[in-house]
Amino acid sequence: MNDRVVEWIMEKNPHLTEAPGREDDLIEGRLIDSLAFLEFVYLLEEVTGAAVDLGSITAEDFRSLAAIERRFLAPAGQGAEAGR
């Protein structure tokens, strides 16, 4: 997992005493909320160097650190973005 992604989540949630686990539900846990969502998308674009097509994403793409990694951070040809 990209350190900047985890750092962003920790900064936005100062009540956290440790980083969320790879499978923790970030949406149900309100660690990524609607007010910060676009900021998070911009962070992902910066980290990956690729634009995120807002028309092709779902809440499930952001459900956990593992889902974010699979969808946005997997090496070229291995993630969901490869087929889009």
Mean pLDDT of the chain: 89
Number of domain units in the chain: 1
Q: Which domain holds residue 9?
A: 3-83
Expressed in percent and rounded to 5, the helix, strand and coil fractions of the chain are: 50, 0, 50
Type of residue at 84 = R
Q: In this predicted structure, what is the pLDDT of residue 2? A: 84
Question: So what's the pLDDT on residue 76?
Answer: 55
Q: Distance between CA atoms of 62 and 31, rounded to whole angstroms?
A: 10
What pLDDT is attached to residue 62?
Answer: 95
57: domain CATH number is: 1.10.1200.10
The single-letter code of the amino acid at 74 is A
Which pLDDT value is given to residue 18?
96
Assess contact for 60 and 27: CB atoms under 8 A. no
Residue 83 pLDDT level (bands cut at 50, 70, 90): very low
pLDDT single digits (tens) 40-77:
999 999 999 999 999 999 999 999 999 999 999 987 54
